[in-house]
Chains A and B, each alone.
Chain A
């Protein structure tokens, strides 16, 4: 489906090994294939025993799916990461500035840099948040920014995840597994550590506590053991040494949030929630939600409790907002964006619409509120009839769609049944914003295990790899 040459993370176009993969290639050549098969099985056992699973918990047969873990690391040279880190810091700072602005004076809308009706009529815009002041003016304390490489290896931001981004536990567990399985590789590579992520996260959460709270009580709010990311919720709560609570464990009295404990009620100052906005408070949002805490929004608006990420961050990671992020960087920071967006046509614009309609068979068209590949046209894979049907849907309401070129995602060698083969990868670094903007080097590398597949989502057979950011340039 993709005509351009695919950028290979390990090999050059001429077939040689890139310098930062040289030591790995040597190790691979020295290591007997049997031993590698053995290590792959061992990895499987490690993950299964630790119960590092995804989704389908509570299935009647009791099956739990493992996220496939690939033992070939994704290696990023130090200068490359330095630049990514600058770009991520810049982008997330701008996104937070945008959120603060949208929920206060709306200068960017008044300046006409983003169409006002597109923001204010969006379901992700929460009028409840208008005029509320948050500690440090930060909304998205935890951001997962999805990066892909295309063409000759240029990085692009594919999307910003600012609601409840997940996957960081796999980043940490993948590293743990790699160090246990291949200690000798860590002797050959100066891999930057990521294990302090939970400390950084806790520090970030504590820094956004309501003013005047000296030793804030932080909790992690989970939808419960049946949620697909429950492993991660439990893992992070344990690593940070905070309580893992469900909605039923919390209650609000006189605008103060308490948790029920064996010694009576205890006040809660910061809630790291892994529950969507809609389910947070049945009195304010979905009345049928059993996952939330009645009265939470009132306590939040009164500034008696911090919620992380803030309510209403969805307006900044909506697909209709995405094309304007570079503009935010210029508007709020007066800088040129370091990280590029994937070129995007906004179909509410007439000239974009005309171009897209003329080139449907080569483009990817996305519904702005759709998620997980729903309501999407992948032109090169679609039949003529599908394209024509989609054309009618676009014409009925062009503002609902954006379009992008079909990207040739980069590929990284991956163990599959037939041996080592290139598979498409992406990268999700986790950016923390509180008093400072911080991140651990790297992030979660997701890999599409099916040949030719571009889908890296865990729910659709994607796997993960350990991501190595090298500490020195010379490797």
Chain B
């Protein structure tokens, strides 16, 4: 398959997944604000979210105060925010457009319809009143895209690079969401086995569709230790770091080429550390430090994938 085609498929999947996770993050914040409406807590929560998506400085340079409406607008539609949901869906569709011949028509039509509908929604004046519906919509469009891709595309290299994009992005996003919550809710000295705030932690679980999963796995109180364990180490939890890195590694093994040996070795290393790692080590090290190290390893992996597969050099 053409390197450029692989590159477009990979980014189409990454941007679709990123839009979904942004919507998940915003949705949870809005729900929490309904439960606790104190102004300073709301402000703190949105400041943390803006920081998670790397936009706090840009936001404060453009706005005087942090309000829920303004923060939501910033993350969904602000033209100055290159990581907005709109921007992600634009990019996803643009990448799909560039390789529409490789996609099944259902896949292209799904991404194109999402984009057209987004533009229509953007023009709806009253859109601020039903943000919940919007976040739900973004999430389900992503589900739909994934389903259409897996249900209609030939299971060949094109699908592999799409999966690679999806799982690498999801690993990154889950780590960031988890990191933001630990920053907000867990001062360094806090006891990991005591649930400080049931609603906040359950909200985190809901944001990654893991609330019911948690109940099923632990049948017990929600504690920060178990939340971290579930989202980092649980193999069967589809949004956990372990699950995502397993999928990334398996895919890299399948698409391996003459120069991707080192990349496969590194993904294997990350995968092994999650397969054999334990939550105690993470807590000893500090969850946030652990996640920072994980994020830097996945970003290294992303750069290596680009080099090995997506932008081939001119030489034979």
A-chain residues with CB within 8 Å of residue B152 when the two chains form the complex: none
B257 CB-CB contact with A under 8 Å: yes
Q: How far is the CB of A349 from chain B (nearest CB, A)?
A: 48
A234 & B258 in contact (Cβ 8 Å cutoff):
no
How far apart are the CA atoms of A238 and B100 in the complex, in Å? 8
Do B97 and A238 touch across chains, with their CB atoms under 8 A apart?
A: no
B97 & A225 in contact (Cβ 8 Å cutoff): yes
Q: Are A262 and B116 in contact (CB under 8 A)?
A: no
> What are the residues of chain A within 8 A of B257 when measuring CB–CB?
262-264
Once bound together, how far apart are the Cα atoms of A235 and B104, in whole Å? 11
Q: Interface residues of B: mostly helix, strand, loop or mixed? A: helix
Looking at B4, B105, B116, the one whose CB has the most chain A CB atoms below 10 A away is: B4
**In the complex, A253 Cα to B315 Cα: how many Å?**
8
Is A8 an interface residue when CB atoms closer than 8 A count as contact?
A: no
Known: A245-B2, A249-B3. Contact between A262 and B108, CB under 8 A? no
- B316 on the interface (CB 8 Å rule)? yes
Q: For A245, what are the chain B residues with a Cβ–Cβ distance below 8 Å?
A: 2
Which of B2, B108, B116, B257 has most A Cβ within 10 Å?
Answer: B2
CA distance A224 to B113 in the complex (A): 22
Tell whether B255 is near chain A: CB-to-CB under 8 Å.
Answer: yes
Bound form: Cα–Cα A238–B94 in Å: 18
CA A50 to CA B107, docked complex, whole Å: 10
Cβ contact of A51, chosen from B97, B312, B314, B316, cutoff 8 A: B97
Per-residue contact bits, chain B 143-171, to A (CB 8 Å; 1 contact, 0 not): 00000000000000100010000000000
Q: Are A261 and B316 neighbours in the complex by a CB distance under 8 Å?
A: no
> Do the beta carbons of B5 and A243 come within 8 Å of each other?
yes
10 contacts between A and B (CB under 8 A): A51-B100, A62-B90, A234-B99, A244-B5, A244-B101, A249-B2, A249-B4, A262-B3, A262-B255, A264-B257
Cβ–Cβ < 8 Å partners of B98 in chain A:
224-225
Closest chain B residue, CB of each to CB of A58 = B94
Asked if A234 and B157 make an inter-chain contact with CB atoms under 8 angstroms apart, the answer reads no
Q: Which residues of B contact A (CB under 8 A)?
A: 1-6, 90, 94, 97-102, 105, 108-109, 112-113, 116, 119, 157, 161, 255, 257-258, 309-310, 312, 314, 316
Residue numbers in A under 8 Å from B90 (CB-CB): 62
Of the candidates B4, B97, B109, the one whose C-beta lies within 8 Å of that of A260 is B4
Question: What is the interface residue range for chain A against chain B?
Answer: 20 to 34
A51-B101 in contact (CB<8A): no
Q: In the complex, which of the residues A238, A244, A265 contacts B316, with contact meaning CB atoms closer than 8 Å?
A: A265
What's the minimum C-beta distance from B270 to chain A, rounded to whole angstroms? 21
CA distance A251 to B312 in the complex (A): 11
Known contacts A248-B4, A260-B4, A264-B257; decide if A253 and B316 are in contact (CB<8 Å).
yes
Residues of A that sit less than 8 Å from B by CB: 48-51, 57, 62, 224-225, 231, 233-235, 237-238, 243-246, 248-249, 251, 253, 258-265
In the complex formed, the residue of A with least CB distance to B161 is A262
Residue with the greatest number of chain A CB neighbours at <10 A, chosen from B100, B101, B102: B101
**Structural contact, A51 and B1, CB atoms closer than 8 A:** no
Known contacts A62-B119, A262-B161; is-contact A50 B105 (Cβ 8 Å): yes
Closest chain B residue, CB of each to CB of A258: B316
The reply to whether B255 and A235 form a contact with Cβ atoms under 8 Å apart is: no
Name the residue among A51, A237, A243 with the largest chain B CB count within 10 angstroms.
A51
> Which residues of B sit under 8 angstroms from A258, Cβ to Cβ?
316
Known A260-B2, A265-B312; 8 more pairs at CB < 8 Å: A51-B97, A225-B94, A231-B100, A234-B99, A249-B4, A260-B312, A262-B3, A263-B1
Across the interface, which residues of B come within 8 angstroms of A264, CB to CB?
A: 257-258, 312
CA distance A68 to B305 in the complex (A): 43
Decide if B316 touches A234 in the complex (CB within 8 Å).
Answer: no
A79 and B255 CA atoms in complex are apart in Å by 55
Q: How distant is A156 from chain B, measured CB to nearest CB, in Å? A: 36
Given contacts A51-B97, A238-B101, contact A261 B116 (CB under 8 A): no
Docked complex Cα distance between A245 and B309 (Å): 16
Give bound CA distance, A453 to B257, whole Å: 58
Quote the shortest CB–CB distance from B120 to chain A (angstroms).
12
A251 pairs with B314, CB closer than 8 A: yes
**How long is the Cα–Cα vector from A427 to B142 in the complex, in angstroms?**
43
Residue from A233, A244, A246 having most chain B Cβ neighbours under 10 A: A244
Considering only CB atoms, which chain B residue lies closest to A224 in the complex?
B98
Which chain B residues border A259 with CB–CB below 8 Å? 2
A262 / chain B contacts, CB cutoff of 8 Å: 1-3, 6, 157, 161, 255, 257, 309-310, 312
Q: Closest chain B residue to A236 by CB distance?
A: B101
- The residue of chain A having its C-beta at the shortest distance from the C-beta of B310 within the complex is A262
Q: Given A49-B112, A49-B113, A260-B2, check contact A238 B312 (CB 8 Å).
A: no
- Whose C-beta in chain B lies nearest to the C-beta of A256? B316
> What residues of chain A lie closer than 8 Å to B3, measured between beta carbons?
249, 260-262
CB-based nearest A residue for B1: A262
Closest 10 CB pairs of A and B: A234-B101, A238-B101, A260-B312, A237-B101, A244-B101, A234-B100, A262-B309, A260-B3, A225-B98, A262-B6
Cα–Cα, bound, A288→B169 (Å): 38
Give the Cβ gap from B7 to chain A, nearest Cβ, in Å: 9
- Complex: how many Å from CA A299 to CA B314? 17
Q: For residue A231, which residues in chain B have a CB less than 8 angstroms away from its CB? A: 100
Contact residues in B for A234 (Cβ distance below 8 Å): 99-101
Chain A neighbourhood of B314, CB < 8 A: 251
A227 to chain B, nearest CB (A): 12
Query: Distance (Å) between the CB of B251 and the closest chain A CB?
Result: 12
Please report the C-alpha to C-alpha distance between residue A22 and residue B54 in the assembled complex, in whole angstroms.
67
Cβ distance B264 to chain A, nearest Cβ, rounded Å: 14
Which chain B residue lies CB-closest to A49?
B109
Which residue of the partner chain B has the closest CB to A260?
B312
Indicate if the CB atoms of A261 and B1 lie closer than 8 Å: yes
Closest Cβ of chain B to A204, distance in Å, is 19
User: Nearest residue in A to B116 (C-beta to C-beta)?
Assistant: A48
Please indicate the chain A residues that have their CB under 8 angstroms from the CB of B112 in the complex.
49-51
Measured CB to CB, the closest approach of chain A to B294, in angstroms, equals 26
Complex alpha-carbon distance, A48 and B100, angstroms: 15
